[in-house]
């Protein structure tokens, strides 16, 4: 596999202005079934054993939604910093969740106890009872440090892996981009912890001076998509660039992904951020998008509804307002723009345990939508 990625990266570096071939496909062949609407900037969806859904809304509301669209609010969340890109973000069921309930995990922007104007990403868990819709035993298991001014770039996705780890993606909090190269804080990192918040003994920065032991990778900008390949077990993630330079990468222990020392993007004022797109000791992206599509949400598709997509990455595009498919096969990268005429920001892409595919639209009248194949 290492040789394959070397070939892919080499091809991208030789022709840095070229993108892999991208095809466009409108809604033909894809049927959109709205499960629920009138959602206030929904951010993430998780699937309950009774075929209902848990959906987070960024302003700070957690909903249980039935198949017929009925919404039930679940109370008992911690204090949430609801400004800009901050709010209630990702949600995931714990590995031991069953048909009665169990731990649910959620990430959110949290204010400092003594100063509501500064915040950073935190992860908490609580026991959720399916019969009563009650949360109990709430505990915060991770706090990104330090708390900062500003309301941008909180990350934040959660990924449980079969070997028992929980990965949490973070942002560099926008105004503090240089800190993404500093392992003495959590800004611009992906962290790896255990479900109770303790640090795995083999994390790469254990006993490395003042480095934060939770860190698994650094030099990241704002990671809002992470997924594990169903066959290889590799963990892939994508992150937002500024004006261009969105990246897809494979996660490696202790790796530096370069931000802001290397980037294909430029500042929002049009100025150069770095004159380098590659540097020794920093990982090159497998794929980068310039101009930016603003990726958010990510899944490796394994369902049966769309057989030709099996094994491919499906990624929501916020600025691009479409669903993006990426296929890497024998060193060849192919991309396809799905739902080209959709015209809505896609915040999350998720697959249910039954293999059904869902998206969430990021708007004040957001929707939870299931994708099915139109009958031929």
Q: Which residues of 304-328 are buried (b: 16+ CB within 10 A; e: fewer)?
A: eebeebeebbbbbbbebbbbbbbbb
Q: Tell me: the pLDDT tens digits for 265-310? A: 999 988 999 999 999 999 999 999 999 999 999 999 999 999 999 9
Q: For 235-252, how does the pLDDT look when each residue is reduced to its tens digit (9 = 90+)?
A: 999 999 999 999 999 999
Q: Per-residue pLDDT tens for 300-350?
A: 999 999 999 999 999 999 999 999 999 988 878 999 999 999 999 999 999
- Strands 22-24 and 332-338 turn out to be parallel
Report the DSSP pairing between strands 366-373 and 88-93: unpaired
pLDDT at residue 331, rounded to an integer: 78
- Cβ atoms of 169 and 223 closer than 8 Å: yes
Q: How far apart, in whole angstroms, are the C-alpha atoms of residue 285 and residue 159?
A: 20
Q: Which of 41, 149, 153, 322 is catalytic?
A: 153
Q: For residues 250 and 238, what is the distance between their CA atoms, to the nearest angstrom?
A: 9
- Helices marked H in the chain: 2-14
Q: How many domains does the chain have?
A: 1
Q: Is 322 a catalytic residue?
A: no
CATH number at residue 264: 2.120.10.30
- Bridge partner residues of 223 (DSSP): 239
Please give the Cα distance from 350 to 258 (Å, whole number).
28
Query: What is the domain range of residue 215?
Result: 2-15+24-373
Strand ranges for 130-286 from DSSP E: 134-143, 158-160, 166-169, 190-193, 215-217, 223-228, 235-239, 246-250
pLDDT of 8 above 70? no
């Amino acid at each position: 596999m290492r040789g394959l990625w070397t070939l892919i990266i080499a091809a991208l570096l030789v022709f840095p202005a070229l993108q892999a071939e991208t095809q466009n496909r409108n809604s033909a062949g894809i049927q959109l079934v709205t499960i629920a609407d009138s959602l206030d900037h929904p951010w993430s969806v998780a699937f309950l054993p009774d075929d209902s859904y848990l959906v987070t809304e960024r302003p700070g509301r957690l909903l249980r939604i039935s198949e017929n669209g009925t919404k039930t609010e679940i109370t008992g969340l911690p204090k949430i910093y609801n400004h800009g890109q901050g709010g209630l973000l990702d949600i995931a069921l714990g590995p031991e969740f069953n048909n009665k309930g169990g731990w649910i995990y959620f990430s959110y922007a949290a204010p400092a106890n003594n100063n509501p104007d500064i915040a950073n990403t935190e992860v908490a868990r609580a026991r959720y009872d399916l019969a009563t819709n009650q949360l109990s035993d709430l505990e915060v298991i991770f706090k990104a440090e330090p708390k900062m001014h500003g309301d941008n770039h909180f990350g934040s996705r959660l990924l449980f892996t079969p070997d028992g780890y929980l990965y949490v993606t973070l942002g560099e909090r926008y105004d503090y981009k240089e800190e993404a190269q500093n392992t003495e804080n959590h800004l611009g990192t992906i962290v790896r912890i255990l479900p109770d918040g303790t640090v795995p003994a083999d994390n790469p920065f254990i006993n490395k001076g003042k480095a934060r032991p939770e860190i698994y990778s650094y030099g990241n900008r704002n990671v809002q998509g992470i997924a594990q390949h169903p066959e290889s077990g590799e963990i892939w993630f994508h992150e937002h660039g500024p004006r261009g330079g969105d990246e897809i990468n494979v996660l490696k222990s202790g790796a530096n992904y370069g931000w802001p020392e290397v980037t294909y993007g430029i500042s929002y004022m049009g100025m150069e951020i770095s004159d380098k797109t590659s540097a020794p000791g920093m990982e090159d992206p497998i794929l980068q998008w310039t101009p930016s599509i603003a990726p958010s949400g990510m899944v490796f598709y394994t369902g049966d509804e769309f057989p030709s997509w099996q094994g491919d990455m499906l990624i929501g595009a916020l600025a691009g307002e479409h669903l993006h498919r990426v296929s890497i096969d024998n060193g060849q990268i192919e991309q396809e723009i799905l739902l080209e005429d959709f015209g809505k920001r896609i915040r999350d892409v998720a697959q249910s345990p039954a293999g059904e595919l869902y998206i969430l639209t990021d708007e004040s009248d957001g929707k939870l939508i299931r994708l099915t194949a139109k009958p031929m």
